[in-house]
Each structure stands twice: as structure tokens, then as C-alpha cells.
């Protein structure tokens, strides 16, 4: 029993660990005392320039464990050998949580992302939700952009300001939730201005080109639209997220 609890505790911890890469990103993370750092990874082949010196100094000041790797091993950690610049950092994102926690919540307004691929869109969505009246974002691991330096940059410092709930797929999650789930569609008769928010509301934003998948759409309660003027057909998904984020 004790081993089982210990395993769950470790799993929960490592599920919350996100790996970022790139020298400027690593400097930014190490300079932000609000971000908990688990471990710093560096390539043995790095040339000791001013940025590497700064990274080493910051790591020493913050007493961060530094692990040296050959170039190939580091690329396996960063998962982006072309852009990692010989450094990667593990951060503990306490706002990155399992979507199972949603089942225990008594009330919420969430935005769920179905197949959002563009990291910049994801970052801007996070920023809008952090600024607006949203309790969190549901980000499935299946067919979605991952938390990355591009997402961090586009979020402009808001990446860790609100919960991001991860799941394998929205289809797996929605069947277990007692919530009103809205999907956005230009063909819907009802608009976002007709929605009266209930205790548990989820708004689903779909892929940049394909929209919400049929599998997810089947599980939604209602389809709603954003009224358009002057013949404009649609909005960027990040702009749509902004409008929903400030609904009350």
C-alpha cells in the first residue's frame, strides 16, 4: 500500500514536469524565481560563451542540479536537436494538472482545445484565458501542440498563471463530465450571446483548418456561433478564445 502511494506521488510529480530548451528560454526560466526548476541539462560540446556562463552562474545561485550529456543524449531530452542550442531545463509546472481533477470540481468555466497545432495560437490562447474569466484550459496530448519555448514566448509570461489540464483525448474525458459542452460553429443558430453560463461550462475550440472533430462534436451539448459582420467568415482561434474568455 505504501509503495502504491509512493508511486502515485512520484507519477504526479513527473507528470507536472515540463522540459523547455534553448539558451534564452533557459536564462529566462532561471531568472524567474517563481518558476520551480527541477534539473538543468547541458551538452558537453557547448562552447563557453557569455550566455553559457550566465546559465551556469544562475544555476549555481539557485542551487539547481546540472547534468551533463553528450549531444545525442541531450537531443533525446529536448526532443528538438535543431533548436535546443545545447541546453534544456526541467521545470515543475504546478498549474499543469491531470484532467481527472475536473471531475471533482463543483463549478468551472473551461476552454478545451481540440487539435490546436500552432504553438503561437496555443500561447495566445493561454494569455487570453489567463486575462479573462476562465478557470483553466483542457489540452489533450493527442494531436495538439505541446508546451514549448514558442508557446512560452507567445503566452508573454502567462504560461503558469492558470491551470492547464492534460488528458489523452477529449473524447475520453467528456463522457465522464456532467457539464454543458459548447462547440463553436459558423453554422450554429444560437450565438455566444445566447449562452447563459451554468455551474459547469466547457467551450471547445477546434483545429485551425478542420475545426472540431466529429468524435468530439458528438459529445457536445450545443453548437454556438460568433455573429459576423461584413461577410467575414471566421476568426483566428486565438481571437475566438479571447471573446469566450471574457464572457460572464
Domain ranges in the chain are 2-92, 96-245
Taking alpha carbons only, the member of 14, 27, 13 closest to residue 149 is 27
Q: Which residues contact 169 (CB under 8 A, 6 or more apart)?
A: 140, 141, 142
Which fold, 2-92?
60s Ribosomal Protein L30; Chain: A; (3.30.1330)
Average pLDDT of the residues in 113-126: 96
Angstrom distance (rounded) from CA 160 to CA 149: 13
The CATH architecture annotation of domain 96-245 reads 3-Layer(aba) Sandwich (3.40)
pTM of the model: 0.88
Strand order in the sheet with 164-167: 96-98, 164-167, 136-140, 108-114, 200-206, 180-184, 222-225, 190-191
The residue length of the chain stands at 248
pLDDT tens track for 149-164:
999 989 988 988 999 9
Most confident of 12-21, 130-139, 188-197, 228-237: 130-139
More confident residue, 13 or 130: 130
| Residue 1 in this model has a pLDDT that exceeds 70 | no
Same fold, 2-92 and 96-245: no
Check whether 66 has a pLDDT greater than 90: yes
Residue 186 has what pLDDT? 80
The residues, any chain, with a CB within 8 Å of residue 184's CB and separated by 6 or more, are 203, 204, 205, 206, 212, 223, 224, 225, 226, 240
Cα separation, 45 vs 196, whole angstroms: 58
Amino acid at each position: 500500500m505504501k509503495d502504491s502511494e509512493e508511486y502515485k506521488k512520484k507519477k504526479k510529480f513527473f507528470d507536472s514536469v515540463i522540459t523547455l530548451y534553448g539558451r534564452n528560454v533557459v536564462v529566462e526560466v532561471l531568472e524567474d524565481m517563481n518558476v520551480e526548476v527541477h534539473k538543468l541539462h547541458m551538452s558537453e560540446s557547448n562552447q563557453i560563451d557569455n550566455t553559457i556562463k550566465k546559465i551556469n552562474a544562475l544555476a549555481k545561485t539557485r542551487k539547481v542540479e546540472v547534468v551533463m550529456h553528450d549531444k545525442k543524449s541531450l537531443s533525446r531530452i529536448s526532443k528538438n536537436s535543431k533548436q535546443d542550442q545545447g541546453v534544456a531545463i526541467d521545470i515543475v509546472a504546478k498549474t499543469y494538472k491531470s484532467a481527472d481533477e475536473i471531475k471533482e470540481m463543483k463549478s468551472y468555466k473551461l476552454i478545451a482545445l481540440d487539435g490546436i497545432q500552432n504553438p503561437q495560437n496555443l500561447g495566445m490562447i493561454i494569455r487570453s484565458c489567463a486575462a479573462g474569466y476562465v478557470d483553466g484550459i483542457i489540452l489533450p496530448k493527442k494531436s495538439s501542440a505541446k508546451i514549448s519555448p514558442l508557446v512560452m514566448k507567445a503566452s508573454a509570461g502567462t504560461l503558469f498563471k492558470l491551470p492547464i489540464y492534460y488528458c489523452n483525448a477529449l473524447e475520453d474525458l467528456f463522457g465522464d463530465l456532467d457539464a454543458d459542452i459548447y462547440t463553436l460553429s459558423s453554422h450554429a443558430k444560437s450565438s455566444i450571446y445566447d449562452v447563459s453560463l451554468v455551474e459547469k461550462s466547457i467551450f471547445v475550440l477546434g483545429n485551425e483548418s478542420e475545426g472540431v472533430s466529429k468524435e468530439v462534436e458528438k459529445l457536445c451539448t450545443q453548437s454556438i456561433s460568433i455573429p459576423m459582420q461584413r461577410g467575414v467568415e471566421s476568426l483566428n482561434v486565438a481571437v475566438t478564445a479571447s471573446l469566450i474568455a471574457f464572457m460572464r
